[in-house]
Chains A and B, each alone.
Chain A
């Protein structure tokens, strides 16, 4: 395996739940519970799961937009988890984020030039105004917009164009990793494909690595080399995206894949219907967190928590029964 760009070791993010009064919090939402994975330079890792499984929290904790409770975040070997704010800010040039809602993530009162230029100013990347303008125009062209768009405001753009501005802003500081949190789920289907293709092109051009967080398995499979499947704060399956989608090992992944609607009316697919909802992350079920909804659950699944183990080369599963 090549040198890793990002290595996450036993990361935990717990949120205290208020119990009222002056007592210390008794309960915690275990949003991310003991997660480890790596991303190599130029690679895309997809992160999928149901809403509330902790995928967004994990995506944000990885670049310390949310403070992790425990664990290590090694970026090019340096642990980000305990960096002080000034040292962290210097590091932030290397990792950026693209947000879900292109309507909420751009300042409505700033011109595009300043939205993108702010990142350049913070890291002092363009010494003169002319250089800054030139750089912004170059970035706009890179993401498929027009240089003249620099003087406009966000409301003058469509959803897809706004997402391109968000991408240009992330690219401005030449990062090595971009965390994409549901970057296409707010967009129309016909525009989604444009943005997915753009992200792929930019990756090849700039050698970017992506952590691609999304609930749409088909989009994730399309863009990712490896996929992590999350359930209730834990990774339950990890592997090459092809093998995870073609031969999923964990019963949750199997159900997730079978639930994706397909446009092919002749598909002979058997749908696995999951009963019930995602359980509470405050009091997760004992044993395997998936056992109350699992169609295959046995007695030991209720008491013994399965650990993530390697079934085939590069394909890991946290399930007692997976073969």
Chain B
């Protein structure tokens, strides 16, 4: 039994009296101690999927329209408020994109970590434990830093504090939603390294949400690629980066400029990411697909296992281009 099993998840947003499906039939599974990378562009539904794991989406406007999210053996979508409070933080913790916006600006960081401890491990809400957590995430001079306010720390240090807070209740799953997007590449490398190291040390699973395929290769075991509310490809990270199968994944990888190559023109994907409520009929990628055929606009292709451990939502994945 995997730690997290999402089956056929469907999430709608009710906007102007209309239900718009943001997540359409997403299934994911993540084993304890493993890392899953969920990759997609803006509007692909990756963050909505991630937030739904602890039922963090405000409802309304969000509607959990179907499917199940089984976390450590229990369906989150069926839980009552008291149970949810234990799961949030206790089983699954979050680290978000903007550490500056996620920390409370008027409390010292030590107190913010203490709050997480008091809620889930009241016996451990001590100064020594707070300092141990700050040391664990690599903050220098933790004994003096506990007294700092968030604005006294750099972006990278703030993100380390966020990670310390997320780790305080000893969760089994850490959801990191674009944890390095607001940071410099030099700091990004530090944070990704830290996440990998903590996973090995603490044995927790990580769900990493990102738009950057390069980060996925550094840390993830498995990858799922999302486009317009659906998963279009899942594969072991290495296999996906070596040989992407879905036309979208292939095009996405080719459109990233590379440091080591002299190319005159970048390969582009025509058009732009479809907006919520305006997803095309048939295959949702077909208007932008370099291999699109007339039938692609008619039928919506299913996600099919094409090789061991690899699933692709495109019937023409092995047609030579």
Contact = CB atoms under 8 A, between A and B. Distances in A.
B256 A189 contact: yes
Interface string B174-192: 0000000000111111100
B41 A222 contact: no
Given A215-B184, A221-B257, 8 more contacts: A50-B187, A160-B272, A194-B269, A218-B257, A261-B213, A262-B259, A273-B189, A278-B154
Interface string B255-292: 11111101101111110110100000000000010000
9 contacts: A50-B185, A190-B288, A191-B273, A192-B255, A193-B257, A200-B265, A259-B189, A262-B258, A266-B242
Q: Which 9 pairs show the lowest CB-CB distances between chains A and B?
A: A261-B214, A193-B266, A193-B255, A190-B269, A222-B257, A259-B189, A188-B41, A277-B154, A50-B184
Given A190-B269, A257-B259, A263-B256, A51 B217 contact: no
Contacts of B218: 261
Given A189-B41, A191-B273, A197-B265, A50 B186 contact: yes
Contact of B185 (A158, A188, A259, A264): A259
A267 to B, nearest CB: 8
B157 interface: yes
B237 A256 contact: no
Nearest to A157: B272
B256 A218 contact: yes
Contacts of A21: none
Given A190-B273, A277-B157, A261 B215 contact: yes
A18 interface: no
A264 B242 CA distance: 7
Nearest to A191: B272
Interface string A53-87: 00000000000000000000000000000000000
B238 A161 contact: no
B48 interface: no
Interface string A289-317: 00000000000000000000000000000
Contacts, number: 127
A278 B263 CA distance: 32
Contacts of B260: 245-246, 262
Contact of B272 (A51, A161, A215, A261): A161
Interface string B110-151: 000000000000000000000000000000000000000000
Contacts of B265: 197, 200
Nearest to A219: B257
B158 to A, nearest CB: 11
Main secondary structure of the interface of A (DSSP, over half): helix
A263 B266 contact: no
Interface of B: 41-42, 154-157, 184-190, 193, 211-215, 217-218, 237-238, 241-242, 251-253, 255-260, 262-263, 265-270, 272-273, 275, 288
A194 B269 CA distance: 8
A119 interface: no
Contacts of B255: 189-190, 192-193
Contacts of A159: 272
A51 B251 CA distance: 30
Interface in A262-282: 262-266, 271, 273-274, 277-278
A137 B212 CA distance: 36
Contacts of A215: 184-185
Contact of A277 (B187, B268, B288): B187
A274 B213 CA distance: 22
Q: Which of A51, A188, A221, A274 has the most CB of B within 10 A?
A: A188
B189 A265 contact: no
Interface in A149-164: 158-161
Q: How large is the interface on A (under 10, 10 to 19, 20 to 34, 35 or more residues)?
A: 35 or more
A136 B140 CA distance: 56
B156 A277 contact: yes
Interface of A: 50-51, 158-161, 188-194, 196-197, 200, 215-219, 221-222, 242, 245-246, 255-266, 271, 273-274, 277-278
Contact of A222 (B156, B186, B215, B266): B266
Given A160-B272, A256-B185, A261-B215, A189 B252 contact: yes
Contacts of A274: 186, 189-190
Contacts of B156: 277
Contact of A188 (B189, B213, B237, B272): B272
Contacts of B155: 51
Contact of B214 (A193, A263, A273): A263
Contacts of B189: 258-259, 261, 271, 273-274
A263 B272 contact: no
A169 B260 CA distance: 33
Of A189, A245, A271, the most chain B CB neighbours within 10 A belong to A189
A264 B214 CA distance: 8
B237 A265 contact: yes
A191 B213 CA distance: 15
A85 B41 CA distance: 43
A102 to B, nearest CB: 12
Given A260-B214, A261-B212, A277-B156, A188 B256 contact: no
A193 B273 contact: no
A184 to B, nearest CB: 10
A50 B256 CA distance: 20
B273 A265 contact: no
A262 B258 CA distance: 8
A256 B188 CA distance: 11
Given A188-B41, A189-B252, A260 B259 contact: yes
B184 to A, nearest CB: 4
A59 to B, nearest CB: 17
Contacts of A242: 262
A51 B213 contact: no
